[in-house]
Structure 1
Amino acid sequence: MTLQNAAVQNKVIWITGASGGIGEALARELAADGARLILSARRTAELEQVRASLANSAEHLLLPLDITDTVAVSAAINQIKQQIGGLDWLINNAGISQRALITDTTSDTDRKLFEVDYFAQINLTRQALPLLLADGGGKVVFISSVAGLVGTQYRGSYSAAKAALHLWANSLRAEMFEQGLSVATIFPGFVKTDVSRNALTGDGSALGQMDDAQANAMSAEAFAEQAVKALLKGKNYIVIGGLKERLAALMSRLSPELLYKMVRKSKVR
């Protein structure tokens, strides 16, 4: 067993949005390291396929869930408490993206993006805190986005929701530090998943196709490997992506004015 494996061996880790993409890749990485997983998403059949492909598949719990359903979230947490008794990590990965200009986006679509990418995330986290803190501390991981640091075309409300999630995580980290809670935020750049196919257009319908930038991006497996390595090193601010995305994230802190010029010239579709 490597030191990296030892850090998560037998840890109970709940991953939302685990039926594909980044969530599935994180599940594979953590299962291989010996973690005991709780896998949630709306699509039960896909969740079953993911679990069947994991190391020690029989040890992992499937918990089909729509994270925007507050009652269902409460029931899910009660089920974890009854069946497992505790929770070490919560990885808030479920979410939905956007591909529409601000002028083409309806208010209903704005609200849907915030409901999924912000309100549902913080509600689930808040409800899970007693389980995470029961043994003196746990880890909460939020999957934000480089878009939440820089803001880009076609992702106005998505970028805003991911930025809000990042800052809520900062507050949570400060407030719960003395109770032993660790809070990490990961900011992915482009990752080759179906996120753009499922992204909302202005009227709320799915885009249904993959962006060029997405198609040529890093694999979900490469992302997961980097993410888990950074989390196990105790990092809490984690940017993962290509050179342009990492540079944009850096410029958001060092020179916002230069960043604005970079974003205007960037190709994000």
Structure 2
Amino acid sequence: MAKRENLEHKVVWITGASSGIGKALAKECALQGAQVILTARRYEELEKVRVSLLNPERHLSVCADITNESQVLHAYEQVLARKGRIDWLINNAGLSQRALIADTTMLTERTIMEVDYFSQVFLTKTVLPTFLQQKHGRIIFVSSVAALLGTQYRASYSAAKSAIHMWANSLRAEVAEQGVQVSVVFPGFVNTNVSFNALNGEGKPQGHQDEAIENGLDADVFAKNTVKALMAGDEYIVVGGAKEKLGVLVSRLSPSTLYKMIRKTKVK
């Protein structure tokens, strides 16, 4: 049995940390003794999260738009200047979608891919030299069960989340012998504000909550289960309800059966 990783005093950098899953992960990592770096666009919101964490003086708010490469580079410099190292990088910032393919503009397609794929690739490539120099660390991507299934109203989102999953698989193979670990987390429905911010076909926020998200897993429960799995060294982590876990299982055993199930499912 592999030894469980200890987060005491480790530096954990989390993007999309001002709310939802990112905020919950920050809370759980802080409870496990980590020094947490919180990143999102709104500094005031980050500070609200920081002061709510256990031992707030240990943690750091670093403001950046993850789609802005110069801001990301500046944030990286700040993290290294203040903490000297990074033990975990949690690529969590993301953008969902609620629109049919026929109604989705190419600009919206590109916007979702920019946030959910390209920005995570750039941040990871920026931080990677530090991990390789340290010869240890874990890079984590928060993907989605949608990356494994592909459903109506989420085509661009599913594609971007699947893309980062495959990119992570390649990264894992390339750095495994250099002490760097790579994990991908696949959340099912988690009760956050993700559906409020999900883009419609024209690229505007949907502005209301989905029933499935509202009835989803509590964000703190999600974070507790996820951090426990990461500390155990897991690389492929599905966290969700029975429906989502069943879907993932069927996707492995019989893709054609899954496709028939999805056609009959109301997913919006």
- Aligning the two structures, in what range does the TM-score lie when normalised by the shorter sequence? over 0.9
Aligned position for 2:146: 147
Aligned position for 2:48: 49
Q: CA RMSD in A?
A: 1.1
1:134-156 deviation digits (Å, cap 9, x = unpaired): 32111000000000000011000
1:8 maps to 2:22: no
Task: Find the aligned partners of 2:216 and 2:110 in 1 and give their Cα distance.
Answer: 28
The Cα of 1:19 is off from its aligned counterpart by 0.2
Aligned AA (2:227): V
1:114 maps to 2:127: no
Using the size of structure 2 for normalisation, the TM-score is: 0.97
1:58 maps to 2:60: no
Task: Find the aligned partners of 2:48 and 2:204 in 1 and give their Cα distance.
Answer: 26
Task: Find the aligned partners of 1:239 and 1:266 in 2 and give their Cα distance.
Answer: 20
Aligned AA (1:59): R
Aligned position for 1:73: 72
Q: Number of paired residues?
A: 266
Aligned position for 2:89: 90
Task: Find the aligned partners of 2:70 and 2:91 in 1 and give their Cα distance.
Answer: 18
The Cα of 1:241 is off from its aligned counterpart by 0.6
Q: Return 5+ residue gaps in structure 2 as ranges.
A: none
Aligned identity (percent) is: 56
Aligned position for 1:204: 203
1:13-72 deviation digits (Å, cap 9, x = unpaired): 000000000000001101011100100001111111100100010110110110000111
Task: Find the aligned partners of 1:60 and 1:267 in 2 and give their Cα distance.
Answer: 42
Aligned position for 2:155: 156
Q: Are the aligned partners of 1:86 and 1:134 in contact in 2 as well (CA < 8 Å)?
A: no
The Cα of 1:165 is off from its aligned counterpart by 0.4
Aligned position for 1:215: 214
Aligned position for 1:36: 35
SS in 1 for 2:6: helix
Aligned position for 2:179: 180
1:100-131 deviation digits (Å, cap 9, x = unpaired): 00000000000000000000001100100122
Aligned AA (2:167): W
SS in 1 for 2:28: helix
202-211 or 43-52, larger mean C-alpha shift: 43-52
The Cα of 1:133 is off from its aligned counterpart by 2.5
The Cα of 1:132 is off from its aligned counterpart by 2.0
Using the size of structure 1 for normalisation, the TM-score is: 0.97
Aligned AA (2:103): D
